[in-house]
Chains A and B, each alone.
Chain A
Amino acid sequence: MSGRRIFVLIVLLIFILFFPFRIVQLITLLYLAVLGLSYFYAYVISRYVVVLRREQTLRTHRLEEVEAVLFVENRSFLPVHYLTITDRPNHFFLTGPGRFLVSLAPRERKKLSYPLASQDRGEFTLGPLVVQGSDPLGLFPWVTRLTRHEDQLRLIVYPEVHPLDLEHHKGLPAGNIRVESRIFEDVTQYRSIREYIPGDDMMRISWKASARTGKLCSMDYLPYLHVPVMIILNLAREDYPLRYRYHYLERAATMAASLVTYFVGLKQEVGLVTCASIKGQSGFPAAEIRGTHGHALHLLEILARVQASAEHMNFNSLIQASGIRIPPQARIEVITPLLTEEQRAFLRRLKERGCAVEVFLVGTSTWRAEELRVRAMISREFTVFSVKDYGSELVYK
């Protein structure tokens, strides 16, 4: 309460206590009662109207809508004519305003929701929630800022994910990817029985069928491939051209997220090594090759939070620093701008170990003759894709 109001209050009290005149008491008591009741109303409402969030953490992809839900509850015995609730959206691009005008009956609870969509990937905090109201006479307006940790909403925005269609030629047999090559026949996946062809393995002959038909019969199996995938994401700031740097970095993150989603969708094991940084964490973020959905979410969270690294590191050191073992016949997906000679040498070694190396080059549209020549050299050694600058179709050969 302001000093002026306290002074008025003291004067009124003096009049009420010491002046034995009905008219004076009537007027002063009226002032006092109105001020007192208004103050009481404002105090009770500001204390007993609570706003809660349904979730503490929300997860979404970039440019995808997610619904933020609030519950406002009047725990007092007084009705609320109206009050406003504003959820500070911080960096968000909102599709609906997080502002509400609410009228509440005693003990009433209401659900409020609004859509959110972010233009940037990353980890953000929503809030603080600001609740604003006043007593009916407007003598005691109040504002409450809910700044406690539980009043704030953590929002993790994954990179965009676009559909991919990649070819599968190499890998380990007995997996989940259906391929055409008979080399990867999975003996647990029975297909049919056919006539024996000279050259068929003796192990494949079905003796029971041969006895029944009087001819030699061979078992046919479905070819399935298992590909442990290691994604190497290069987000070293200096490797990207200055022009459109931010855009290309985001595109690289999008490519990585799409690969994660794609391979997890094929029930493959995926790992991640990045030449990037996460705010508040030291070292380069990395994750071992695993194949669960929880692991996929972990990878996406890493990709949501990674930022361009000021430090450059070659792939060999990166893998060694992460301590992750790359299995033989693994598929190495490298997302990077132009490869250096050192990086190519590392990838060549991996290829010699039987790994399938695929390079996704980012920012190729701005390349000049020299860079295109290097690209031609790389494509002679590895499978090379160019990442498109815009659109949902991510790659082209």
Chain B
Amino acid sequence: MSSSINNSSISKQYFRFYRATAHPLLSIFIPLLFLLTLHSMLQSLVPGLSIPTPLLALLLLIVGFEEALAGNIFFKERVSSFVRLRELILILLLVLPILFAVHRIPLHLRNLLQPKLLYPLFLVLLQWLSSLALHNRLRERELFLSVIAGKRGSQQTQALRDSSMQAGYAIKGIKEVQSTITMFQVVIFVLIIATIVLGKELPASSLVLATLHASSGFLFSGVLNLFSEDQMYLGNGFVIPPRLERKRLIYIAVLLGVCLTLVLLAARDSSLLPLSWLLALLEKLAQLFKYNPDYGVVEGLRKMIAERRQSLQSLLPAREAMPLSLLFKLILALLKRLIRVIAFTALFFFLAAPLFSDYFLKRVRQLRPLAFLWRKIRASLLYLRRTIRRFVLWLKTSGTRRKPAAEGKKPLQTHPFVYRESRRPGLRKKLQMGRVLKAFARMLKWGERIGVPFFPANTPQEYTHRLAAAAPGTEPSLEFIVQVFEEVMFSTHLVDRDRISRYLKVVYGLCRRSF
């Protein structure tokens, strides 16, 4: 297979895939896996941090998805950072009750500062912020692709020239995301070492998560390398077709799969060489670079620190001795309350401000919520009245209703969608009628376009006669259309599927013709 720039381009559909799927997924899962692994490590180090991992995973996932979705919507509307801040506060406010419920802590402000709540809240905050940061970095690439999407040949070359600066930003963004991935890997590795050094036990879930995190790090890094290489090739005049990208992704998956299999087979709880050899080597290396410190300087520093500490300690009793007046205490309490009230009021207005915006109110007015509510109430009342009437009727006719058929006498086999007693059509019949009616309506519109408007007094037969007079050569088709239409609309049985598809084909074929 060979291709070149002249006959290919990045399609708009493919660009939308990047914007709506690939980039959001990356920005969600890079921090998600890191935070989950981090959580499992921290649980080993600090046993007090307890939150069920599946719940945390779900929360982080939801938060990540929310950020990606809102990010895409808000980016289209070019909203300010205040809106994103409001979104974050709302998310934290929504997550809080869930955490209160999970830990069975009474929902009160004074319980807020418990580590049980603060820790997952902090993780949620980290997830949201990391997703935001990564998504923003990848958005530079989206902007770059949006410029060239759907363009070919000279137009594409021109667009590439015009967006060279954006291309630079895109690469920079990709590099930053890659650096974040590397940083996450290093943090996790350091934490693993720290856990081992501190003699803490790592559960099996940590092992799985750490492995998953490491392999996903490679996967994400590979995907990002693919992005930057694609862009480089684009600069050289090559557009990588999506199927080759998919092929490369498969290769990445295969490579990682092979590596994981090998590693799982090879890894064990014993080292190939004793650790004492390494220590001996390090000691020898240390001897090579032996350093004799100046003990006088060290002693001087120690003395200086002790003096400073003494002077500071002498201040402490003086502070404790200072009495506080009652007025001062009152003012302090007042100030505290005032600040709290102002802070909460400001927060409330900050969160509720969009509800008072002209745009929102206008939109609400357009939607007419009261009318909508009234419609629903009316419909419910009508339904209630109908049900009551039926019930009353049922009560009234309870003695006069027909008895069921005698035992051993089978009822007649009928079509499942045809009701003998009530002529009400079934769901499939309704759907069929809807399709046929829709197609017929389309034909009416077509008729109007060619100068044969439909009059309500016309039967389908009459109308098609008029149409046939205006559009010569369409008589057989119109005859068939009317035949099927009448059969579907005025019968209780389901019409053959082939006949319906033929009907639709004839109608749409007719509507494409012009006279």
Contacts and interface: CB of A to CB of B under 8 A. Distances in A.
Contacts of B210: 23, 26-27
A84 B237 CA distance: 10
Given A26-B210, A38-B255, A139-B222, 13 more contacts: A16-B272, A18-B274, A23-B202, A26-B207, A82-B248, A84-B233, A99-B237, A100-B2, A100-B4, A101-B4, A101-B241, A138-B225, A138-B228
Contacts of A135: 255
Contacts of A138: 221-222, 225-226, 228-229
Given A23-B192, A101-B2, A81 B266 contact: no
Interface in B226-245: 226, 228-229, 233, 236-238, 240-241, 244
A102 B2 CA distance: 5
Nearest to A102: B2
Interface string A8-29: 0000001011111111111101
B361 interface: no
Given A30-B260, A102-B2, A137-B221, A82 B247 contact: yes
A30 B271 contact: no
B398 to A, nearest CB: 75
Interface in B242-271: 244, 247-248, 251-252, 255-256, 258-260, 262-264, 266-271
A103 interface: yes
A80 to B, nearest CB: 9
A364 to B, nearest CB: 40
A116 B374 CA distance: 76
B5 interface: yes
Given A23-B202, A23-B206, A86-B236, A81 B248 contact: yes
A84 B232 CA distance: 11
B246 to A, nearest CB: 10
Contact of B275 (A20, A38, A82, A141): A20
A297 interface: no
B275 A18 contact: yes
Nearest to A79: B251
Contact of A25 (B222, B241, B267): B267
Interface string B187-198: 001001100100
Contacts of A37: 255, 258-259
Interface stretch (B22-30, B49-57, B211-219): B211-219
A345 B278 CA distance: 98
A112 B192 contact: no
Contacts of A101: 1-4, 233, 238, 240-241, 244
A23 B222 contact: no
A372 interface: no
Interface string A97-113: 10111110000001010
A135 B107 CA distance: 54
Given A19-B271, A103-B247, A34 B255 contact: yes
Given A101-B3, A101-B244, A136-B248, A84 B236 contact: yes
10 cross-chain pairs, A with B, having the tightest CB-CB distances, nearest first: A138-B225, A136-B251, A137-B222, A33-B259, A20-B271, A25-B267, A26-B267, A81-B248, A100-B2, A18-B278
Interface string A134-148: 111111010000000
Contacts of A112: 2
13 contacts: A14-B278, A18-B271, A18-B273, A21-B196, A23-B206, A23-B207, A29-B262, A30-B214, A81-B247, A81-B248, A86-B236, A100-B2, A134-B229
A97 B267 contact: no
A27 B214 contact: yes
A141 B229 CA distance: 9
Contacts, number: 139
- The bracket for how many chain A residues form the interface is 35 or more
B210 to A, nearest CB: 6
A32 B5 CA distance: 37
B4 A33 contact: no
B6 interface: yes
Interface in B1-55: 1-6
A99 B260 CA distance: 37
B211 A30 contact: yes
Contact of A84 (B238, B258, B262, B274): B238
A82 B243 CA distance: 11
B455 interface: no
B490 interface: no
Nearest to B222: A137
Given A19-B275, A37-B255, A136-B255, A31 B214 contact: yes
B221 to A, nearest CB: 7
Contact of B252 (A18, A84, A110, A136): A136
Contacts of A34: 218, 255-256, 259
Nearest to A86: B236
Contacts of A136: 222, 248, 251-252, 255
Contacts of A18: 271-275, 277-278
A30 B267 CA distance: 9
Contacts of A100: 2-4
Nearest to B243: A103
Contacts of B259: 30, 33-34, 37
B262 A20 contact: no
A248 B301 CA distance: 90
Interface in A299-336: none
A22 B266 CA distance: 9
Contacts of A84: 233, 236, 238
B3 A137 contact: no
Contacts of A30: 211, 214-215, 218, 259-260, 263
Interface string A244-270: 000000000000000000000000000
Contacts of A23: 192, 196, 202, 206-207, 210
A339 to B, nearest CB: 48
A103 B202 CA distance: 44
A22 B213 CA distance: 16
